[in-house]
């Protein structure tokens, strides 16, 4: 196996185990299976980190916005959960593997890549539901875990694409097509036809 064939990917745990997702994000097993089948077919090793929301709040948690997770306790929890997966990533890179990208979960306050404006409830607390008509100029934040992961990778001078898994998108949707185009481009980079 040549060096360019040795690839790994870093992903959120719910992409392999959709049961970890909070119920409003859906448990799209078909899309997860499609993703895993593609990665295995392309011989891409998978490094995942434990779900920070599940490990902090359990499976029966209520859906929340990014605002509720943006606190020192949850951030510290995320940093602890990333320690071993980042050691694994560093070990793979040291041994000639290419970290191709990170895949987070669309509209996740923790593992999303593009968190925009969301609805607020009567208490003015951010909702996990995006506004119906977002302003195209609205600044986008990363989810809390994605933000921390981005900082870790920047410290290692590792520049990789951050993609969002469109768990709520319909088959054939523009979001789904865009995700697959971006994923195939980054995974199959420098490999020619396979």
| Res 194: pLDDT | 41
Residue 148, in any domain of the structure = yes
Residue ranges of E strands in the chain: 7-12, 44-49, 98-105, 118-120, 126-130, 162-165
Residue 192, in any domain of the structure = no
- Both tokens of 76, joined, read 């510290």
67 with 110: CB under 8 angstroms? no
Residue 89, in any domain of the structure = yes
Residue 143, in any domain of the structure = yes
Residue 194, in any domain of the structure = no
- State the Cα–Cα distance between residues 50 and 81, nearest whole angstrom: 6
Residue 1, in any domain of the structure = no
Give per-residue pLDDT as tens, 173-187: 999 999 999 999 999
Number of domains forming the structure of the chain:
1
Report if pTM > 0.85. yes
Residue 158, in any domain of the structure = yes
Give per-residue pLDDT as tens, 28-81: 788 889 999 999 999 999 999 999 999 999 998 888 999 999 999 999 999 999
Q: Which bin fits 172, alpha (ψ -120 to 50), beta or left (φ > 0)?
A: left
Nearest to 51, CA basis, from 27, 17, 23, 28? 17
143: domain range?
7-187
Residue 141, in any domain of the structure = yes
């Amino acid at each position: 196996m040549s060096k360019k064939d040795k690839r790994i990917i870093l992903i959120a745990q719910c992409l392999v185990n959709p049961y970890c997702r909070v119920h409003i994000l859906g448990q799209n097993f078909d899309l997860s299976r499609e993703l895993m089948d593609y990665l295995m077919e392309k011989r891409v090793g998978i490094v995942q980190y434990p779900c920070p929301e599940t490990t902090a709040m359990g499976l029966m948690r209520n859906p929340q916005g990014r605002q509720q997770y943006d606190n020192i306790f949850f951030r510290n929890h995320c940093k602890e959960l990333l320690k071993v997966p980042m050691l694994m990533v560093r070990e793979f890179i040291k041994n000639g593997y290419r970290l191709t990208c990170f895949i987070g979960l669309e509209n996740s306050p923790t593992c999303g890549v593009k968190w925009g404006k969301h609805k607020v409830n009567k208490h003015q607390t951010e909702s996990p539901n995006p506004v119906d008509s977002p302003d195209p100029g609205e600044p986008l934040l990363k989810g809390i875990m994605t933000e921390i992961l981005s900082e870790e990778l920047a410290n290692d001078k590792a520049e990789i694409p951050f993609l969002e898994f469109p768990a709520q998108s319909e088959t054939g949707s523009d979001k789904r097509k865009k995700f697959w185009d971006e994923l195939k481009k980054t995974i199959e980079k420098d490999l020619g036809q396979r």
